[in-house]
């Protein structure tokens, strides 16, 4: 009986040791979040707003290609290139603007994605340049004395080539993954005109890429895009549950 008691006590110690090791391993598994794999690559797309605008606005033609490249977890290089032709019919004049533009800058993703999510809520900055021409189709001299009736419309056709403009714009927007590697997004931009080449006896009332000028040097913009993500490589990010809990408590 004495030997049986010692043998039983030894087995109890061995079982206790196994249980202690199993509990430690279980605790480690509970406290550790699985490694998160994030994809890095190039995203290319087109502005659907400009394409659909041509369907309901007969005096407009335009296309814009968009792209971004992921540098870090939150930083993206971004650029847009496009071409526009717009005829504006104001009270006193009718003119057509035609040209190309390029915008380049960066986006910062403010959204913290869950596991395997790749959505973006971003703020960004762009520097834009545009090269264009203006054609004065017709105009009407303002009549200060309506007693004699309205002044006749004068057909011009005068063209101003070699015009240019540069501006800075702040952008806020979002991109959401709807299918595998396919994203839809929209953004709003506030623009400030830095410099421009203005024709003699005329003004740049519409600038490709900048849109209509308001209050002199300010403008606004909007686009709705669909793009495709081309993955180039992956990076693994490890996170610890304890540190996440402490961060939430703070």
Overall average pLDDT of the 218-227 stretch = 93
Position 248 in a domain: no
Lowest mean pLDDT among 27-36, 164-173, 230-239: 27-36
Position 242 in a domain: no
- Say whether pTM exceeds 0.95: no
Position 249 in a domain: no
CATH at 172? 2.40.160.20
Q: pLDDT tens for residues 182-205? A: 999 999 999 999 999 988 777 888
Q: What is the largest CA-CA distance in the chain?
A: 131
- Whether residues 10 and 119 fall in one domain: no
Are the beta carbons of 106 and 73 closer than 8 angstroms? no
Position 232 in a domain: yes
- Whether residues 76 and 12 fall in one domain: no
- Whether residues 161 and 73 fall in one domain: yes
244/154 Cα distance (integer angstroms): 71
Position 61 in a domain: yes
Q: pLDDT tens for residues 65-86? A: 999 999 999 999 999 999 999 9
The helix (run of H) or strand (run of E) holding residue 26 is helix 2-31
- Whether residues 116 and 231 fall in one domain: yes
Residue 217 backbone phi and psi in degrees, to 5: -110, 5
Residue 212 pLDDT class (50, 70, 90 cuts): confident
Task: Count up the domains in the chain and report the number.
Answer: 2
- Whether residues 110 and 175 fall in one domain: yes
Residue 28 pLDDT class (50, 70, 90 cuts): very low
Residues forming a β-bridge with 164: 131
Domain extent for 183: 36-237
Position 52 in a domain: yes
């Amino acid at each position: 009986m004495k030997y049986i008691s010692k043998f039983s006590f030894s087995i109890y110690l061995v079982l206790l040791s196994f249980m202690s090791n199993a509990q430690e391993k279980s605790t480690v598994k509970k406290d550790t979040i699985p490694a998160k794999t994030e994809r890095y690559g190039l995203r290319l797309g087109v502005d659907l707003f400009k394409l659909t605008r041509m369907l309901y606005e007969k005096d407009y033609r335009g296309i814009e290609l968009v792209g971004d490249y992921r540098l870090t977890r939150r930083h993206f290089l971004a650029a847009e290139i496009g071409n526009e032709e717009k005829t504006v019919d104001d009270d006193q004049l009718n003119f057509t603007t035609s040209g190309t533009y390029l915008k380049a800058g960066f986006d910062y993703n403010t959204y913290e994605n869950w596991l395997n999510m790749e959505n973006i809520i971003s703020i960004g900055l762009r520097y834009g340049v545009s090269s264009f021409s203006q054609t004065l189709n017709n105009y009407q001299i303002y009549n200060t004395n309506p007693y004699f009736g309205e002044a006749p419309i004068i057909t011009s056709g005068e063209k101003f080539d070699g015009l240019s403009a540069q501006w800075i714009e702040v952008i806020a927007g979002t991109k959401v993954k709807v299918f595998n590697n396919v994203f839809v997004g929209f953004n709003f931009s506030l623009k400030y005109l830095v410099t421009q080449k203005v024709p003699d006896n005329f003004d740049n009332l519409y600038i490709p890429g900048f849109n209509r000028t308001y209050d002199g040097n300010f403008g606004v913009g909007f686009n709705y895009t669909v793009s495709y993500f081309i993955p180039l490589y992956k990076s693994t990010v490890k996170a610890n549950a304890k540190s996440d809990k402490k961060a939430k408590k703070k």
